[in-house]
Structure 1
């Protein structure tokens, strides 16, 4: 069987010009080098070199194998270096799962500097999981989960990265716009626009409406933030979003924010990962960058 050492021997003999110099370059004795090649010649059933005076001359078989060595050895060297980078956590693909629709805008602000800092690491963002975000972590579908609702399980760790407030977004001309805060009953007559997420996973329901036994007059779902807020600005409904996100659009659209309840709804975004992966350098670097990049 042809092994890497055989290719390396032929390559070094060609480069160094002698058995002795090739053996030194490969940290082998000359006898070990010769024995290795004789054994390969026996297995192949053909000589790879012949003596030419005091030197050696590659046979036709040897010339062919030298050509293979010139092509293959650089590829093997690159592969070895890249595998070592994987082992050191310097190369790979960071698969990020999203359980927070509005966080895409925040994520984009993190990904750009991250890719610059880690040029050998790719980023892939996933939203739809076969078993939900936690299940996707356990199933190795994703490596990092962005979520406002961490579910602490053995084998998983969650790192808080930033705080925010969930607020009601209304048009400037809306009757609720002048209020400092609203009570759940004031949404009985409203069309509430949300992302296409089940109500039990929406904070405006879970922490505001449902505990009060209140439902909006109509619940409408829209996937994109831009269209959702265009609808709000046109007084086609109201929306519950993070304050930081609403304020990004407030300079472009005729919208304002109102607190949900007198105390408001405080939330926190977490990044979750498998405990075994938390020390992976490129994953750890993403979490640290996210913590520094406050909204």
Structure 2
């Protein structure tokens, strides 16, 4: 019978790369772990590892079990942490992942009244999932994902919380700085600066460039908003960003925001959650508060 401990063994051997290192992590002797490995393969009736000297390499069956371990173990760990919080008299911790770099200001306006309304709930913001939040949500690393680009997956739901406009940001010295709006052909000789995500998740490609069968001369990825807009202000490229973010930086940098097309590109920010968490009152309250606080959203224009 496959047990949780077997999944722990498979995951740790893969993580550590050897029986010796995995045994240390699992607080076992190497002989005890070797016995467990041998017994597990006997129970499964198929080899799980190929031996290469002192190293172990997963077989096809082993890779299947590793995938199972990576899906199930975080759920066990999440449930145990929540049960401990209940046992300690705590309501829980709301872990928020951000895929929207400029949304922290808005998030603070939501978190402040939320903490007052729910004094027995802690809030933790996970920044490392800025460009990979869907996997973190499915893997139980976070409970709420703030994103402008929801990817529909079984078991997830996304609630819209506020609207904004995506604009092209250029330097005041740029040749396009004084036009009323830009067209796709205006970017064919430009360097487009963007966050390091797939281009099929970038609005400027999906709603502006690809429908016109055009592309920028160069696509360059930059992780931080500050550096990206310093580059734009120095006339070393252009960037597509939310209008409220561009206008905030325009107060201290020589930047201009331009409509993408005559009608512009309208977008929304969503909160993603797991459907199985729908009954958690403090999580549902956070989503409802965020939806009710539309007036706290950043400005979408002047």
Could you say which TM-score interval applies, normalised by the shorter chain? 0.5 to 0.7
Q: Where does the alignment leave 5 or more consecutive residues of structure 2 unmatched?
A: 1-82
Distance in 2 between the 1:225 and 1:132 partners?
A: 17
Q: SS of the residue aligned with 2:176? A: helix
Deviations 1:269-293 (A, max 9, x none): 1101112323423212322332202
The structure-2 alpha-carbon separation of the partners of 1:199 and 1:153, relative to structure 1 and needing over 3 Å to count, comes to closer
1:202 positional shift: 0.9
The structure-2 alpha-carbon separation of the partners of 1:226 and 1:80, relative to structure 1 and needing over 3 Å to count, comes to closer
Q: For the Cα contact (< 8 Å) 1:133–1:145, is it kept in 2?
A: yes
1:157 positional shift: 2.2
For this pair of structures, how many residues does the alignment match?
212
Q: For the Cα contact (< 8 Å) 1:101–1:195, is it kept in 2?
A: no
Which aligned pairs between 1:123-134 and structure 2 lie closer than 5 A?
123-128=123-128, 132-134=132-134
The structure-2 alpha-carbon separation of the partners of 1:80 and 1:235, relative to structure 1 and needing over 3 Å to count, comes to closer
Provide the residue aligned with 1:16 in structure 2.
none
In terms of Rg, which structure is larger? 1
1:268 aligns with 2:268: yes
1:181 aligns with 2:181: yes
Q: Judge which range, 282-291 or 166-175, deviates more.
A: 282-291
Q: SS of the residue aligned with 2:160? A: strand
TM-score for the superposition, normalised by structure 1: 0.64
Q: SS of the residue aligned with 2:158? A: strand
Q: For the Cα contact (< 8 Å) 1:170–1:237, is it kept in 2?
A: yes
Distance in 2 between the 1:269 and 1:165 partners?
A: 11
Provide the residue aligned with 1:99 in structure 2.
99
TM-score for the superposition, normalised by structure 2: 0.63
CA RMSD of aligned residues (A): 2.6
Provide the residue aligned with 1:142 in structure 2.
142
The structure-2 alpha-carbon separation of the partners of 1:133 and 1:174, relative to structure 1 and needing over 3 Å to count, comes to same
Q: SS of the residue aligned with 1:193? A: strand
Provide the residue aligned with 1:33 in structure 2.
none
Provide the residue aligned with 1:83 in structure 2.
87
1:209 positional shift: 1.3
Q: Judge which range, 272-281 or 115-124, deviates more.
A: 115-124
Q: Judge which range, 272-281 or 198-207, deviates more.
A: 272-281
Q: For the Cα contact (< 8 Å) 1:190–1:216, is it kept in 2?
A: yes
Distance in 2 between the 1:255 and 1:245 partners?
A: 11
Provide the residue aligned with 1:162 in structure 2.
162
Distance in 2 between the 1:256 and 1:80 partners?
A: 51
